[in-house]
Amino acid sequence: MNPVNYVYLAALLFTIGAAGVLIRRNAIVVFMCVELMLNACNLAFVTFARMHGGLDGQIVAFFTMVVAAAEVVVGLAIIVSVFRTRHSASVDDANLMKL
Protein backbone atom coordinates (compact mmCIF):
# COMPACT_ATOMS: atom_id res chain seq x y z
CA MET A 1 0.00 0.00 0.00
CA ASN A 2 1.23 3.43 -0.86
CA PRO A 3 2.45 5.12 2.35
CA VAL A 4 1.30 8.49 1.01
CA ASN A 5 -2.25 7.44 1.92
CA TYR A 6 -1.20 7.54 5.57
CA VAL A 7 -0.10 11.11 5.10
CA TYR A 8 -3.55 11.96 3.72
CA LEU A 9 -5.12 10.27 6.72
CA ALA A 10 -2.87 12.24 9.07
CA ALA A 11 -3.86 15.50 7.36
CA LEU A 12 -7.52 14.56 7.67
CA LEU A 13 -7.20 13.73 11.35
CA PHE A 14 -5.28 16.98 11.95
CA THR A 15 -7.94 19.02 10.22
CA ILE A 16 -10.69 17.38 12.25
CA GLY A 17 -8.74 18.11 15.41
CA ALA A 18 -8.04 21.71 14.49
CA ALA A 19 -11.67 22.32 13.59
CA GLY A 20 -12.72 20.78 16.88
CA VAL A 21 -10.38 23.06 18.85
CA LEU A 22 -11.74 26.12 17.09
CA ILE A 23 -15.42 25.23 17.13
CA ARG A 24 -16.25 23.23 20.26
CA ARG A 25 -16.82 24.90 23.63
CA ASN A 26 -16.56 22.01 25.98
CA ALA A 27 -13.08 21.97 27.44
CA ILE A 28 -12.91 18.18 27.47
CA VAL A 29 -13.78 17.95 23.78
CA VAL A 30 -11.29 20.69 22.92
CA PHE A 31 -8.75 18.76 24.88
CA MET A 32 -9.46 15.55 23.03
CA CYS A 33 -9.18 17.41 19.74
CA VAL A 34 -5.76 18.61 20.75
CA GLU A 35 -4.87 14.96 21.40
CA LEU A 36 -6.23 14.11 18.00
CA MET A 37 -3.97 16.70 16.38
CA LEU A 38 -1.00 15.34 18.27
CA ASN A 39 -1.75 11.83 17.13
CA ALA A 40 -2.16 13.01 13.58
CA CYS A 41 1.32 14.45 13.84
CA ASN A 42 2.57 11.18 15.25
CA LEU A 43 1.09 9.30 12.34
CA ALA A 44 2.75 11.70 9.92
CA PHE A 45 6.09 11.31 11.65
CA VAL A 46 5.97 7.56 11.53
CA THR A 47 4.90 7.61 7.91
CA PHE A 48 7.74 9.90 6.92
CA ALA A 49 10.18 7.72 8.83
CA ARG A 50 9.04 4.79 6.82
CA MET A 51 9.19 6.70 3.57
CA HIS A 52 12.72 8.01 4.15
CA GLY A 53 13.95 4.83 5.74
CA GLY A 54 15.23 6.61 8.86
CA LEU A 55 14.49 6.17 12.54
CA ASP A 56 14.29 9.91 13.42
CA GLY A 57 10.55 10.16 12.87
CA GLN A 58 9.79 7.19 15.09
CA ILE A 59 11.93 8.62 17.89
CA VAL A 60 10.14 11.96 17.66
CA ALA A 61 6.83 10.11 17.79
CA PHE A 62 7.83 8.61 21.10
CA PHE A 63 8.77 12.04 22.39
CA THR A 64 5.39 13.35 21.33
CA MET A 65 3.59 10.53 23.15
CA VAL A 66 5.47 11.36 26.35
CA VAL A 67 4.65 15.03 26.00
CA ALA A 68 1.01 14.22 25.24
CA ALA A 69 0.77 12.03 28.30
CA ALA A 70 2.25 14.77 30.49
CA GLU A 71 -0.13 17.23 28.92
CA VAL A 72 -3.12 15.04 29.67
CA VAL A 73 -2.14 14.85 33.31
CA VAL A 74 -1.72 18.63 33.75
CA GLY A 75 -4.52 19.63 31.40
CA LEU A 76 -7.17 17.38 32.91
CA ALA A 77 -6.20 18.53 36.39
CA ILE A 78 -6.68 22.17 35.34
CA ILE A 79 -9.99 21.44 33.67
CA VAL A 80 -11.29 19.58 36.69
CA SER A 81 -10.27 22.31 39.09
CA VAL A 82 -11.81 25.01 36.87
CA PHE A 83 -15.00 22.94 36.68
CA ARG A 84 -15.06 22.61 40.47
CA THR A 85 -14.81 26.36 41.06
CA ARG A 86 -16.97 27.58 38.19
CA HIS A 87 -19.31 24.64 37.60
CA SER A 88 -18.74 24.92 33.90
CA ALA A 89 -16.50 23.25 31.43
CA SER A 90 -17.07 25.82 28.66
CA VAL A 91 -13.89 27.51 27.44
CA ASP A 92 -15.85 30.69 26.69
CA ASP A 93 -16.70 31.19 30.33
CA ALA A 94 -13.09 31.80 31.38
CA ASN A 95 -11.33 34.95 30.18
CA LEU A 96 -9.30 35.89 33.24
CA MET A 97 -6.08 36.07 31.29
CA LYS A 98 -7.00 39.15 29.33
CA LEU A 99 -5.11 42.41 29.89
Partner 1 sequence: MNSLLGLLIAAPLLGAAVLLLGGRFVDRVAPVLGSALAGLSFVLGAILFSNLLGKPASGRAIDSDLFTWMHVGTFKADAAFHLDQLSMTFVLLITGVGTLIHIYSIGYMAHDEKRRKFFGYLNLFLAAMLILVLADNYLLLYVGWEGVGLASYLLIGFWQHKPSAATAAKKAFLVNRVGDIGLAVAVFLMFTTFGTFTFQGILHPSVVSSAGQGKATALGLVLLLAACGKSAQVPLQSWLGDAMEGPTPVSALIHAATMVTAGVYLITRSSAIFNAAPTAQLAVVCVGAVTLLFGAIVGCAKDDIKKALAGSTMSQIGYMILAAGLGPIGYVFAIMHLVTHGFFKAGLFLGAGSIMHAREDEVDMRKYGGLWKKMPWTFATFGLGYLAIIGFPGLSGFFSKDKIIEAAFAKGGTEGWILGGAALLGAAITAYYMSRIMVMTFFGKPRYTTKAEGGTSPEAHESPAVMVAPMVVLAVGSVFAGGFFSLGSRFLHWLEPVTGHSEGHSPVSTGVLTAATIVLMLLGMGLAWFQYGMREVPAAAPRSIWPVRLARRDLGQDDFNHAVFVRGGTRFADGLAEFDAKGVDGAVRGVAGAVGGGSSRLRKLQNGYVRSYAFSMFGGAVLIVAATLFMRAV
74 scored as a contact of partner 1 (CB under 8 A): no
Kindly report the CA angle at 36 between 94 and 45, in degrees rounded to 5? 130
**Cβ–Cβ under 8 Å, residues 35 and 68:** yes
Contact 45, 14 (CB under 8 A): no
Span of 4-12, 22-30, 47-55, 62-70 interacting with partner 1 by CB under 8 A? 22-30
Q: Rule CB under 8 A: say whether 32 interacts with partner 1.
A: no
Under rule CB under 8 A, residue 85 binds partner 1: no
Query: In terms of CB distance, is 69 or 92 closer to partner 1?
Result: 92
Q: Does residue number 96 form part of the binding site for partner 1 (CB under 8 A)?
A: yes
**Binding site residues, partner 1, CB under 8 A:** 18, 21-22, 25, 30, 91-92, 94-99
